[in-house]
Chain A
Amino acid sequence: MGILLQLLFTGLGIGAIYALVALGFVLLIRAAGVVNFGQGEFAMLGAYLLVIFFNLLALPYWVAILLSIAIMAAFGVVFAGATYWPLRNRGGLPVIISTIGASIFLENMVLVLYGPAAEQVDGLFDAPGIQVGPVFMDSQYLSIMVIATLLVLLQYLIFEKTLLGKKLQATSQDKEMASLLGIPVAAMILITFAYSSAIGGIAGILIAPILFVSTGLASIIALKAFAANIIGGYGSIPGAILGGLALGVVETLGAAYISVPYKDAFAFLMLLAFLLIRPQGLFGEKISEKA
């Protein structure tokens, strides 16, 4: 029983990481109708900024974190200008390809500028974790779970309860109509990119103490975060969270009780199963219902 509880905790912790990155995907899907495959690289850049400000420049930890998040938000605007804006009227596919290209560029840019050495960075708390009965709760996993929950709440409030959120959703659904209603469409999209990039940066900062900081950081999590987004329901905030958590738990239990080497396969089998049986995901709407 103790082992099962430990596996569940770890699965939820890993799942929270996927969920955090998936949140960034959801934001852009909902507000700009864009699938950004550079989302994992946002996490990588956030983690590297923390290394630069905290490890190299020795700024206070929280100053380094806030500075990293602020720079990531600004970077989101630059990213939008480079990958989305020039192609915004050419449909979804060119933008997706553009974000894939940007992700490759960013990874290699970091490799050239910073070098290939993986870096270790401190977590939010000095204590490695707490022992609760048979379960060791890693303090960083706990932090991720709490912050992911807070970010979901914040995101839900922004999208559902604020005028800004309504404007963002209106922009996503019909840009022309939103523009006719006086919504500054361009500003809404840039805000979304900035917020999405900042969320990605936060994810990177939180997972850096667990997975270390390297250019490979993005590839470890980005694909699974995207899978979590599909499983949860394309563009659904609660879906991204639940999809991420489910993915983390399934792959951890699958690895422990069936096969460790096939751990990654469980995640993608789950994705395949959803695409076949429930393509709209856990919280998605059927297209036919929208008509």
Chain B
Amino acid sequence: MTLTRRTALASAAAVSSFAIIGRARADDTVKIGVCSPLTGAAAEVGRIQLNSLKLSTEHVNAKGGIVGRKVELIIEDDATTNPGVVLAFSRLAANPDIAAFIGSIRSTQVNAMAPDVAKVGKPVMFGGTDPTLTHNGYKWLFRCRPNDSFSARVIADYGVKTLNKKKWAIVASTDAFGTGGQKALVDALSKAGITPVLVQGYSNQQADFTPVVLAVKQAEADIVASYFTFEPDLAVFARQLVQLGVRIPWVGSPSIVSPVSVGLAKAALNGTYGIADFTPDANDESRAFTAAYGKIYNNAIPDSGWTYDAMQILALAMNTAKSTEPAKVRDAILAIKGYKGTEGIYNYDQNGDGLRGYNVVKNEGGKIVYDKHIEFDA
């Protein structure tokens, strides 16, 4: 066969058509933008969250995807900083094909990106626990962890009713997460008729906590409650608490039971209590997720299930709405009631909060043991 101009053009057109069809097929995915701390202080936590998210995406795709299309993650590093997350979100938001986003576990970062989220007008699932994040009129933010008004209420409930403690010392980071948790805890304790003997803030990434530990000691508290943002800070505080002879019950926010904290502080955290939004053996969903996670990641135990749930909830909402159109997805998320996730049972309210309780766990020689789940109606 001789190659004429006509056959050459026809061949080129055919090849181009196949290329276009191939590209269209490859692009025919539901894209979810992800702002994740791949670098910076929370990079380790970010790695685990991303692993959970990828696992969840695989599970969604295995069940047919979203409205018949596969899900594709588009990931940007937020560098664990506020400018980083704003930049990461703006890069993702510039892509019109992205249907929804998964944001940060850090309240301060969610705060930073919230104005841009409002402008973009697409659903953002996040894990920050500052209660105000869903009460500032930002209608596109949907939380996949219980907020700190519940964490504070659970800490107060457990400390007052179960441990029978009255003289509270509160130690909290001065960032948005710590400040939010501290205020909520003061409020929850005041409803139980208790005024803390010490409310002590600290700035993140400290080399030494001696002044804080001595303040707890001087206040003669009989229980310490904490909202630590970074695990190394918590581990330094835990060790100095033991060294300086402060031996009172300690109930901490979820960072106290993270594998990183437990690994760093070792025996210094023995006997402490923590509240955990995610506990591997809290329910059937968390057990199944932990088993699947361990199968892929060398028997590692995840410290959080919120990114797993976030993807499942987005898939559920989009499949229920039979659309990825933001307004329809928003309505579908807010209509979710009784969805059993790894973090608990989701019943979304009109603010975008889905969960209302925490598990209480205890560190017994480095092993995190589930104690009870405390849930509130509202």
Query: Interface residues, chain A, CB within 8 Å of chain B?
Result: 3, 6-7, 10, 13-14, 17, 108, 111, 115-118, 120, 128-129, 136, 138, 207, 210-212, 214, 216, 219-221, 252, 255-256, 260-264
Hey, which chain A residues are within 8 Å of B325, CB to CB? none
The answer to whether A252 and B208 touch across the interface, beta carbons within 8 angstroms, is yes
Q: In the complex, A116 Cα to B231 Cα: how many Å?
A: 12
Hey, which chain A residues are within 8 Å of B66, CB to CB? none
The answer to whether B174 and A261 touch across the interface, beta carbons within 8 angstroms, is yes
- B residues 195-222 in Cβ contact with A at 8 Å: 200-203, 205-208, 210-212, 214-215, 218
Smallest distance from the beta carbon of B212 to chain A beta carbons, Å?
6
The answer to whether A136 and B205 touch across the interface, beta carbons within 8 angstroms, is no
Q: In the complex, A83 Cα to B342 Cα: how many Å?
A: 50
Smallest distance from the beta carbon of B131 to chain A beta carbons, Å?
21
Interface residue? B235 (CB, 8 A): yes
Given known A6-B210, A108-B39, A212-B235, contact A120–B201 (CB-CB < 8 A) = no
- B residues 307-339 in Cβ contact with A at 8 Å: none
From B2-10, B89-97, B185-193, B260-268, give the one contacting chain A: B260-268
Hey, which chain B residues are within 8 Å of A214, CB to CB? 41, 232
Q: Which residue of B lies closest to A10 (CB)?
A: B210
Q: In the complex, A120 Cα to B236 Cα: how many Å?
A: 11
Given known A136-B244, A260-B200, A260-B212, contact A14–B207 (CB-CB < 8 A) = yes
Most buried by A among B211, B244, B266: B211
Q: In the complex, A256 Cα to B44 Cα: how many Å?
A: 32
Given known A138-B243, A260-B201, contact A211–B207 (CB-CB < 8 A) = yes
The answer to whether B214 and A216 touch across the interface, beta carbons within 8 angstroms, is no
The answer to whether A7 and B211 touch across the interface, beta carbons within 8 angstroms, is yes
Interface residue? B46 (CB, 8 A): yes
The answer to whether A111 and B43 touch across the interface, beta carbons within 8 angstroms, is yes
Q: In the complex, A262 Cα to B39 Cα: how many Å?
A: 26
The answer to whether B235 and A263 touch across the interface, beta carbons within 8 angstroms, is no
Hey, which chain A residues are within 8 Å of B202, CB to CB? 260-261, 263
- B residues 340-363 in Cβ contact with A at 8 Å: none
The answer to whether B218 and A136 touch across the interface, beta carbons within 8 angstroms, is no
Q: Which residue of B lies closest to A13 (CB)?
A: B208
Name the prevailing secondary structure of the A interface residues: helix
Given known A108-B39, A118-B232, A118-B260, contact A10–B208 (CB-CB < 8 A) = yes
Smallest distance from the beta carbon of B216 to chain A beta carbons, Å?
11
Hey, which chain B residues are within 8 Å of A221, CB to CB? 207
The answer to whether A220 and B207 touch across the interface, beta carbons within 8 angstroms, is yes
Given known A10-B208, A116-B47, A120-B263, contact A212–B232 (CB-CB < 8 A) = yes
The answer to whether B245 and A220 touch across the interface, beta carbons within 8 angstroms, is no
Which 10 A/B pairs are nearest by Cβ-Cβ distance?
A116-B43, A256-B211, A255-B211, A10-B210, A116-B44, A117-B44, A261-B174, A261-B201, A212-B232, A120-B264
Hey, which chain B residues are within 8 Å of A260, CB to CB? 200-203, 211-212, 215
The answer to whether B208 and A6 touch across the interface, beta carbons within 8 angstroms, is no
The answer to whether A14 and B201 touch across the interface, beta carbons within 8 angstroms, is no
The answer to whether A115 and B264 touch across the interface, beta carbons within 8 angstroms, is no
Given known A3-B214, A252-B210, A261-B203, contact A116–B39 (CB-CB < 8 A) = yes
Q: Which residue of B lies closest to A265 (CB)?
A: B203
Q: Which residue of A lies closest to B218 (CB)?
A: A3
Q: In the complex, A3 Cα to B212 Cα: how many Å?
A: 12
Smallest distance from the beta carbon of B319 to chain A beta carbons, Å?
34
- 14 extra interface residue pairs, beta carbon distance < 8 Å, beyond A118-B260, A210-B207, A261-B202: A3-B214, A6-B214, A7-B210, A13-B208, A116-B46, A117-B44, A117-B260, A207-B207, A214-B232, A216-B205, A216-B232, A220-B205, A252-B210, A262-B203
Hey, which chain A residues are within 8 Å of B46, CB to CB? 116
Smallest distance from the beta carbon of B22 to chain A beta carbons, Å?
33
Q: In the complex, A216 Cα to B81 Cα: how many Å?
A: 13
The answer to whether B211 and A211 touch across the interface, beta carbons within 8 angstroms, is no
A-B contacts, 15 of them at CB < 8 A, read A7-B214, A10-B210, A117-B44, A117-B260, A120-B235, A211-B232, A212-B235, A214-B41, A216-B205, A216-B232, A220-B205, A256-B211, A256-B215, A260-B211, A261-B202
B225-258: CB near A (< 8 Å → 1, else 0) gives 0000001100110000001110000000000000
Q: Which residue of B lies closest to A254 (CB)?
A: B211
The answer to whether A6 and B244 touch across the interface, beta carbons within 8 angstroms, is yes
Smallest distance from the beta carbon of A130 to chain B beta carbons, Å?
11
Hey, which chain B residues are within 8 Å of A116, CB to CB? 39, 43-44, 46-47
Smallest distance from the beta carbon of A94 to chain B beta carbons, Å?
27
- Name the contact of B231 in the complex, choosing from A118, A128, A138, A263 (C-beta under 8 A): A118
Hey, which chain A residues are within 8 Å of B205, CB to CB? 216, 219-220
- Name the contact of A128 in the complex, choosing from B218, B243, B260 (C-beta under 8 A): B243
Smallest distance from the beta carbon of A1 to chain B beta carbons, Å?
13
Hey, which chain A residues are within 8 Å of B214, CB to CB? 3, 6-7, 256
- B residues 164-190 in Cβ contact with A at 8 Å: 174
Q: In the complex, A187 Cα to B5 Cα: how many Å?
A: 71
B266-282: CB near A (< 8 Å → 1, else 0) gives 10000000000000000
The answer to whether A115 and B47 touch across the interface, beta carbons within 8 angstroms, is yes
Smallest distance from the beta carbon of A191 to chain B beta carbons, Å?
31
The answer to whether B231 and A264 touch across the interface, beta carbons within 8 angstroms, is no
